């Protein structure tokens, strides 16, 4: 087998890249080690920046999103007795769209199927070869047989635990990581959200977030200990704790119900430099992780894909490698700005176990400044709606 670009991973990053390449007349094969049902069953966040929305429309996967997505022109931050709405629209002229990542993945899969472009599911990529040569290849196992695909380039969109990053010699990479001493306990429930916009809460008992997937499906989060177990959080206890952390009006509006999904996720910041080696290019979680506080994971992957698709298109159109050679530096310039914002949001809104009284006073001052300063609110808003690609 041979193609122009092998894409490893059929999450939103890999599927979006495949669609953009298809639009540019570039052939690709997507390899996914999991089943289609498994990929579509993954529950992830769904706050989309304007740039991500535009890319999905360009990729031919935006029709349902435009019908069903919820436009949010602001978000609330709660600290103590103070509730501050950050007005994205007034401060930046833009907004975000709430549309679940599972739905994004479904729409991209449907778009690729309409184009009869290949996705090989349950194909475990076993090794990547010759990425520093003109003839790289990916070898994968399918139905007990090992198949090799030759290609011009490889795009590693296979997440933090995938094989793509590990195919780059360790000596060629510099890794940056920060682990956070808490996790997020998330619950998905078929109940209407308590607000038309997201509510971020810094409470003495820990962070909370009220979010949604639709007008009838809500997603709630609580800061929890890293070693907490799901069995220690039956639904009744979750709703009880969430109400404790919400301001009175929001707590009264909360509609509890049986959880349809519950999980605990650790938080980390992680960056790989560079994001390319030879003819292997990393995008999305394969190259970087952000804590979910700023809703940036999917959006950061989308900006990587935008840069990479443009670079591939330029190469096949002009046979010049300028944009390909500059992909990593171009992507990382935005990655680090988004890492900074996500880190800042996390520091401002969570309780850190090792924080002393000085840290607590600084956090209070940070929030007071945000509530009082239109300039600070604009800084948050322009980062939240998305820095330009």
Same domain assignment for residues 261 and 286: no
pLDDT for 299:
98
What CATH number should be reported for the domain holding residue 210? 3.30.9.10
User: What pTM, to 2 d.p., does this model score?
Assistant: 0.96
Provide the percentage of residues in the chain whose pLDDT is more than 90.
97
- Per the annotation, the verdict on 72 as an active-site residue is yes
Sheet holding 145-150, edge to edge: 124-129, 137-142, 145-150
- Per the annotation, the verdict on 384 as an active-site residue is yes
CA distances from 289 to 27, 85, 139, 155, 307 (A): 28, 27, 26, 17, 18
Q: Which one of 12, 72, 180, 288 is the catalytic residue?
A: 72
Q: Is 24 helix (H, G, I), strand (E, B) or coil?
A: coil
C-alpha dihedral sign at 190, 195, 196, 200 = negative
Same domain assignment for residues 20 and 168: yes
Q: Which one of 292, 307, 327, 350 is the catalytic residue?
A: 292
**Do the domain assignments include residue 291?**
yes
Same domain assignment for residues 54 and 139: yes
Q: Mean pLDDT across the chain, nearest whole number?
A: 96
**Do the domain assignments include residue 66?**
yes
Q: pLDDT-based confidence at 292, cuts 50/70/90?
A: very high
**Do the domain assignments include residue 364?**
yes
Same domain assignment for residues 157 and 120: yes
**Judging by DSSP bridges, how do beta strands 288-289 and 259-273 pair with one another?**
antiparallel
Question: Each residue of 344-362: pLDDT tens digit?
Answer: 999 999 999 999 999 999 9
C-beta atoms surrounding 67 within 10 Å: 8
Check pLDDT > 80 for residue 174.
yes
Give which of 125, 148, 184, 156 is closest to 277, Cα–Cα: 156
From 16-20, 56-60, 120-124, the region with the lowest mean pLDDT: 120-124
As a whole number of angstroms, the distance between CA 293 and CA 339 comes to 11
What CATH number should be reported for the domain holding residue 114? 3.50.50.60
Check pLDDT > 80 for residue 45.
no
Q: Which one of 203, 288, 296, 350 is the catalytic residue?
A: 296
Structurally, the chain folds into a number of domains equal to 2
- Residue 379, C-beta contacts closer than 8 angstroms, at least 6 positions apart: none
**Do the domain assignments include residue 86?**
no
Q: Which one of 99, 180, 200, 220 is the catalytic residue?
A: 200
pLDDT for 125:
76
Check pLDDT > 90 for residue 94.
yes
**Do the domain assignments include residue 81?**
no
**Judging by DSSP bridges, how do beta strands 124-129 and 137-142 pair with one another?**
antiparallel
- Per the annotation, the verdict on 369 as an active-site residue is no
Q: pLDDT-based confidence at 126, cuts 50/70/90?
A: confident
SS3 content of the chain, % helix, strand, coil (to 5): 40, 30, 30
pLDDT for 162:
95
**Do the domain assignments include residue 80?**
no
Question: Each residue of 368-378: pLDDT tens digit?
Answer: 999 999 999 99
Question: Each residue of 54-93: pLDDT tens digit?
Answer: 999 999 999 999 999 999 999 999 998 899 999 999 999 9
- Per the annotation, the verdict on 221 as an active-site residue is no
The range of the structural domain enclosing residue 151 comes to: 5-72+96-177+268-346
**Do the domain assignments include residue 224?**
yes
Same domain assignment for residues 40 and 143: yes
Task: Tell me the mean pLDDT in the region 40-52.
Answer: 89
pLDDT for 149:
97
Which residues are registered as beta bridge partners of 139? 127, 148
Same domain assignment for residues 50 and 106: yes
Question: Each residue of 33-44: pLDDT tens digit?
Answer: 999 999 998 877
């Amino acid at each position: 087998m041979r193609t122009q670009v092998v894409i490893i991973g059929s999450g939103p990053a890999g599927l979006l890249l495949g669609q953009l390449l298809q639009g540019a007349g570039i052939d690709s094969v997507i390899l996914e080690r999991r089943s289609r049902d498994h990929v579509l069953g993954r529950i992830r966040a769904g706050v989309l920046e304007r740039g991500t929305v535009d890319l999905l429309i360009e990729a031919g996967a935006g029709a349902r999103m435009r019908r069903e997505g919820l436009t949010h022109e602001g978000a609330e931050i709660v600290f103590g007795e103070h509730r501050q709405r950050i007005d994205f629209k007034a401060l930046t002229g833009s907004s975000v769209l709430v549309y679940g990542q599972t739905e994004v993945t479904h729409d991209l899969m449907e778009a690729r199927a309409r184009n009869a472009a290949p996705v090989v599911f349950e194909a475990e990529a076993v090794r990547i070869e010759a990425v520093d040569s003109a003839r790289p290849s990916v070898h994968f196992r399918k139905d007990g047989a090992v198949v090799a695909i030759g290609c011009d380039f490889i795009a590693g969109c296979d997440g933090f635990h995938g094989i793509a990053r590990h195919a780059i010699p360790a000596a060629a990479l510099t890794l940056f990581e920060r682990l956070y001493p808490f996790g997020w306990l998330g619950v998905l429930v078929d109940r209407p959200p308590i607000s038309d916009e997201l509510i971020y809460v810094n409470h003495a008992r820990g962070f909370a977030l009220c979010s949604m997937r639709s007008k009838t499906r809500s997603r709630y989060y609580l800061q929890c200990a890293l070693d907490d177990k799901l069995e220690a959080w039956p639904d009744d206890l979750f709703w009880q704790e969430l109400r404790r952390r919400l301001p009175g009006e929001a707590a009264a509006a909360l509609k509890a119900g049986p959880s349809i999904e519950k999980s605990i996720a650790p938080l980390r910041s992680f960056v790989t430099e560079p994001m390319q080696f030879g003819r292997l290019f990393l995008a999305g979680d394969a190259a970087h992780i952000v804590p979910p506080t700023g809703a940036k994971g999917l959006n950061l992957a989308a900006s990587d894909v935008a840069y990479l698709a443009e670079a591939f298109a330029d190469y096949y159109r002009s046979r010049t490698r300028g944009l390909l050679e500059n992909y990593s530096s171009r992507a990382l310039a935005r990655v680090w700005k988004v890492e900074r914002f996500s880190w800042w949001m996390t520091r401002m809104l969570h309780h850190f176990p090792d924080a002393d009284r000085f840290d607590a006073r600084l956090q209070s001052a940070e929030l007071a400044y945000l509530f009082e300063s239109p300039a600070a609110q604009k800084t948050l808003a322009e980062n939240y709606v998305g820095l330009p690609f």
